[in-house]
């Protein structure tokens, strides 16, 4: 899967459902720094699982994978191989 497409999907979800309108994100923005909390992380996880029809195993639920949209995309890519 193209990581840029995954990033675009995640970005659209976050901007539509989680973030305030005037906040902009790029692939390497630290999600916690823009106010994304643990509850929102779970929303993002649920979106990824549904969108890419995958179950993210417990050992992948680590803060490093949920740090930025780019790290999330890398995790999705790795799991979809």
Partner 1 sequence: MKPLDKSILPEKVLLSGSDCFHRVLDKHAHTHRSGGNVMRIVFYFNTRLPADKIKKTFSDSPLIYWLCNIKLQKGPPFGIPCWRYRDKGNEMVINEYQHAVPNELPEIILQRDISLDGERFIEADIIYYSGNKTAFVLSWNHILMDVKGIGMLIHHLNELNSGNEDYEITLLFPAQEKKTGLFSHIKNMYSVKRFIEASSKAPIASIAGKNARSVVTFKNRILYFTAEETDTINEHAIQNGARLGDNPFYLSCCCRAVNNVLKQRQQTGTLWIPIPYDGRLKGSLGPVISNTVAFIFYRVPEKALANMKETVACFSSQMTGQIKEKMPRKYGLLLNLMRRIPLRLYYFLVNRSGEGSFASFLYSSAGETFNGLKTLFGETVSGLTIFPSPTFPPGLTFSFQKHREALNINMAYSPDIVDNPELHKIERDLKHFLLGINE
List residues binding partner 1 (CB under 8 A). 18-23, 32, 34-43, 45-46, 58, 61-63, 66
Q: Which is nearer to partner 1, 2 or 20 (CB)?
A: 20
CB of 70 to partner 1, least distance (A): 18
CB of 17 to partner 1, least distance (A): 9
Q: How far is CA 64 from CA 16, 20, 23, 30, 50, in A?
A: 24, 24, 22, 10, 21
CB of 46 to partner 1, least distance (A): 5
Q: Which is nearer to partner 1, 3 or 15 (CB)?
A: 15
Of 70, 71, 54, 49, nearest to 62 (Cα)?
71
């Amino acid at each position: 899967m193209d990581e840029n497409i995954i990033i675009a999907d995640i970005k659209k979800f976050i901007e539509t459902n989680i973030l305030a309108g005037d906040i902009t994100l790029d692939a390497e923005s630290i999600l916690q720094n823009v106010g994304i909390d643990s509850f929102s992380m779970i929303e993002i996880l649920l979106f990824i699982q549904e969108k890419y029809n995958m179950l993210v195993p417990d050992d992948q639920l680590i803060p490093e994978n949920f740090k930025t949209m780019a790290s999330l995309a890398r995790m999705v890519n790795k799991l979809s191989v």
